[in-house]
Structure 1
Amino acid sequence: MPGTAAEADRVGDLVAAADLATPMAIRVAATIRVADWIHAGRQDVPSLVEATDTDPRALELLLNHLVTVGVLVREASGYGLSTLGEGLRSDHPSGLRHRFDLNGSGHSALGVTELLHTVQTGGSAYLHRFGHSFYDKCAADRDFADSFHAMMSRTHGSATQQVASEFDWGALNTVADIGGGDGTLMIELLQAHPTLRGTIVDMAAAVEAARENLRVAGLEKRAEAVEASFFEEVPPGFGGYILSSVLPDWPDTDATRILRTCARAAAPHGRVFVLKPADQSEGDPGGTAQALRLYALQGGRERSAAELEKLAAAAGLRMGTVTNIGDRSVVELRPLANQPTA
C-alpha cells in the first residue's frame, strides 16, 4: 500500500492510465453515434435508447461515465456535448468518429488487446485476434473498407490539401497514387494543378469508391482508378509515383517490395514520392504510441528520412530532396540506373 498521499496519487495515475473502461466507452459512443443523436436533439436516456437500440441501464452507465471524463455534460434536458464531445460527431473535420467506430475501421484497435502476443513473439496482434490481416478484411468487406478510407481522408484532410497545393506536382505532368484509397489525395492534386493527370492504384473496393468520387468531382476525364497489387506491378511511365501513408503499414521487407515495384515502374526518368510525417524528436508520447500500435497491428512503423533512405537503396532508389510542408514531408526518390529485379 502507498505510504504517502503523493505515492497514492501516483498509484491512482497509473491505474487511470491502464484502465480500459474510458477508451472503450468513447469508442462505443462513437460506434452508436451518441454525439450525432444528442446534436439532433435526443438528449434524455429514453430518447437515446430508442435511437441507438441499446439497453437502458447500460447506456445510462455509459453516458454517466462520459460526463465524468468530460465528453458529455449534464443539461436540464438530459445530456449535452462538451467541446471534447463535439469531436465525436460524424461531421466533425477531425474524423474521430470514423476512427473510433468499432463496426468500421476502428475495430482494428481491438487488436491491441493482444499486445502480449506481439511482445512475446513479434507476431501481429491483429492477426492473432481476428485470424486474418487488416487488408484481407478490407478486401472482403466493402463497408469496412469504405469506413477505413473515410477515416483516412478525414484524418489527413487539411494536411492533404496543404501538400497538394504547396508542392509543384504539376511539373510531373502525370502521377500515380499507389494505394490511393478512395481518391481523396488525387482529387486534391488535380484541383490544385489543372494540367495534371493521374491514376489511382489500389484494391478493388477502393477502386470502386475512387471512381465514384472522381465522377462526383467532375474529374473522371483527367484521372482513372485501376486495380493492381503494389507488391507485383503498377502501371509504368508516370512522372511521379506517390506513396502516402502506405509504407508505415508494412514491415521492412514488404515496404522494400513496394518501393521496388514503384522503382521499376518509374525507371528511367520518373520519381517516387513518399508522403510521411515530418521527423519528430524522440520521446514524443503520440509518436511512441503510434509506433507501438503500428508494429502490434501490422508489423510496420513510421520511418525517419534516414531509415527510408536505407530501404530505398535496397529497392533501387536514391534519395532526392526532402520538402517539409506543415507537419508533413515529401521525400523524393529517384531510380538508380540499374534496377534490381528481385
Structure 2
Amino acid sequence: MSTPPAAQRFLALVTASWVTASLHTVAVLGIADLLADGPRPAEDLARATGTRPDPLRRVLRALAAHGVFAEREDGRFEQTELSGFLREGVVGSLRSFLVMLSGEVISPSWGQMLHSIYTGETAFAKVHGSELFEYMQQDPDFAAIFNKAMTEISAGVADEIVAAYDFSRFATIVDVGGGQGSLLSAILNAAPAARGILFDLPHVIEAARPVIAERGVANRCELVTGNFFESVPAGGNAYIMKWIIHDWNDDDATKLLRNVRAVIPPDGRLIVFDGVLPERITAGDIALQFGTLMDLNMLVNVTGLERTETQFRKLFAAGGFRLASERTIPSGLGIVEGAPA
C-alpha cells in the first residue's frame, strides 16, 4: 500500500478528534456488544439503542473507514479486531479507558492547552476549578469510571509485567496507589509465596475489595487506606507504583519517593511502571506517539509528565534512590527499578 499524500496525512491528524468522538458515541451506546452475536443492520441497532437509523449508520460507516467495524455488501455492520476493544467487561477491553478520556470531564482540557503552555498550570483546573484528583472526590460517577479504566488498562499489561519481572524473591509487595488491585493480584498469583499490601485512598480501597476477592488473593493481600504524600505502609521488600509517578511534578514525586525511602529496607526495591521516553523522538513509532501524547495528557489534566531515563535517574536521586535498571516491555511500558541509596 502506497503512502498517502502529505496533505491527506495532515488532514487525518486534524480530524483525529472526530474519530475519538465517534468512538465515544458507539461505546456509550454499546454497539460492539450488540454486534457480539453477528452482523446487524443500522436499523436494528438503532431500535436497540433508541437512536435514529440514518445518523447511526453514518457514524458506523465513518468508523468502518477506520477499521472499527466493517460494512458488509448487504449493508449490515459487523465486528473487527479493533471493535473488540469496545466490548464491556471482556478481557482486553479498553471501553472504560476510552469513555474516561473522551468524556465531558477530561476532553475539555485539551481545548485549553494554550493555558498550560503559557502558565505551566493544568488546563483541567482552569476548566473545573480544581485539580483532577481533588475533583474526583466531588464527582463519584467520574471517579468510578476512572478507577474502572485503570483496572481495565492494568489488566492489559499485567501479564507482560509478571512475565518480565521476577517477584518471587520478595516476601511482601506493597502496591502504592494500587487502585483496585488488578496488577497486585496478578503479581501475587505469579508469586504464590508472597504477600501483598494494597495501599490507596479509602474510596478506592472499598472498590478494590471485590476485585481482590474475585482474583483469589484476599487471604494474602492486606488492604490499607491512606495518603501516599503523608506516608506509605512499612513492612514491604518491594514497593511498586504503576502510572503513579507520571501523575506528579518533580517536587511532588520526590516527596512520594522519600516517603517510600523512609520505610524500605536496605535490600528492598522500588519498581516504577511508567512510560520512559527516549532523549530524542523519531517519527513513525506507535509506542512513542502514544507516549508523547500521554505526556501532553499529563500536562493539561494533571501536574505530571512522562520522563526520560535521565529524568528518572535525577528524580530517584532526589528521592533517596539510585536507578538500578530500566527496560521496556512489548506494550511500551517501562520498568524502572531503584535501590536505596
TM-score (norm 1): 0.84
Q: Match of 1:148? A: 146
- Unmatched 5+ residue regions in structure 1? 1-7, 337-342
Determine if the alignment matches structure 1 residue 64 to structure 2 residue 61: yes
C-alpha distance in structure 2 between counterparts of 1:231 and 1:45, whole Å:
51
Match of 2:281, as an amino acid?
Answer: E
Q: Match of 1:286? A: 290
Match of 2:129 among 131, 144, 154: 131
Kept after mapping to 2: 8 A contact 1:42/1:48:
no
Determine if the alignment matches structure 1 residue 206 to structure 2 residue 204: yes
Q: Match of 1:243? A: 241
Q: Match of 2:285? A: none
C-alpha distance in structure 1 between counterparts of 2:86 and 2:163, whole Å:
29
The alpha-carbon distance between structure 1 residues 113 and 93, as it changes in their structure 2 partners (threshold 3 A), is: farther
The alpha-carbon distance between structure 1 residues 293 and 81, as it changes in their structure 2 partners (threshold 3 A), is: same
TM superposition shift of 1:114: 1.9
- Unmatched 5+ residue regions in structure 2? 283-287
C-alpha distance in structure 2 between counterparts of 1:49 and 1:138, whole Å:
33
TM superposition shift of 1:152: 2.6
The alpha-carbon distance between structure 1 residues 274 and 62, as it changes in their structure 2 partners (threshold 3 A), is: same
Kept after mapping to 1: 8 A contact 2:100/2:149:
no
TM superposition shift of 1:180: 0.3
C-alpha distance in structure 1 between counterparts of 2:81 and 2:189, whole Å:
33
Q: Match of 1:252? A: 250
CA deviation map 1:31-63 (0-9, x unaligned) = 222211222458233432333233445333322
Determine if the alignment matches structure 1 residue 314 to structure 2 residue 313: no
Match of 1:235, as an amino acid?
Answer: P
- Bigger drift between 163-172 and 240-249 goes to 163-172
TM-score (norm 2): 0.85
Kept after mapping to 1: 8 A contact 2:101/2:107:
no
C-alpha distance in structure 1 between counterparts of 2:82 and 2:99, whole Å:
17
Secondary structure of the residue aligned to 1:70 is: coil
Q: Match of 1:333? A: 338
Kept after mapping to 1: 8 A contact 2:100/2:146:
no
C-alpha distance in structure 2 between counterparts of 1:193 and 1:59, whole Å:
48
C-alpha distance in structure 2 between counterparts of 1:10 and 1:323, whole Å:
34
C-alpha distance in structure 1 between counterparts of 2:47 and 2:178, whole Å:
39
Kept after mapping to 2: 8 A contact 1:104/1:148:
no
The alpha-carbon distance between structure 1 residues 111 and 168, as it changes in their structure 2 partners (threshold 3 A), is: same
TM superposition shift of 1:223: 0.7
TM superposition shift of 1:154: 3.2
C-alpha distance in structure 1 between counterparts of 2:102 and 2:214, whole Å:
24
C-alpha distance in structure 1 between counterparts of 2:305 and 2:328, whole Å:
20
C-alpha distance in structure 1 between counterparts of 2:333 and 2:69, whole Å:
33
Q: Match of 1:44? A: 41
CA deviation map 1:289-315 (0-9, x unaligned) = 222222122131121222112112222
Q: Match of 1:160? A: 158
Determine if the alignment matches structure 1 residue 95 to structure 2 residue 93: yes
Match of 2:304 among 284, 300, 303: 300
C-alpha distance in structure 1 between counterparts of 2:14 and 2:57, whole Å:
23
Kept after mapping to 2: 8 A contact 1:31/1:102:
no
Q: Match of 1:275? A: 273
TM superposition shift of 1:200: 0.6
CA deviation map 1:183-210 (0-9, x unaligned) = 0111111111111011111112220122
**Identical pairs, percent:** 27
- Bigger drift between 118-127 and 103-112 goes to 103-112
Q: Match of 1:121? A: 119
Secondary structure of the residue aligned to 1:83 is: coil
The alpha-carbon distance between structure 1 residues 74 and 129, as it changes in their structure 2 partners (threshold 3 A), is: same
Kept after mapping to 2: 8 A contact 1:237/1:270:
no
C-alpha distance in structure 2 between counterparts of 1:114 and 1:70, whole Å:
30
CA deviation map 1:254-309 (0-9, x unaligned) = 11111111111215553322123355462343332222222122131121222112
Kept after mapping to 1: 8 A contact 2:277/2:306:
no
- Bigger drift between 244-253 and 53-62 goes to 53-62
C-alpha distance in structure 1 between counterparts of 2:153 and 2:202, whole Å:
22
Match of 1:196 among 194, 206, 225: 194
Secondary structure of the residue aligned to 1:189 is: helix
Structure number with bigger Rg: 1
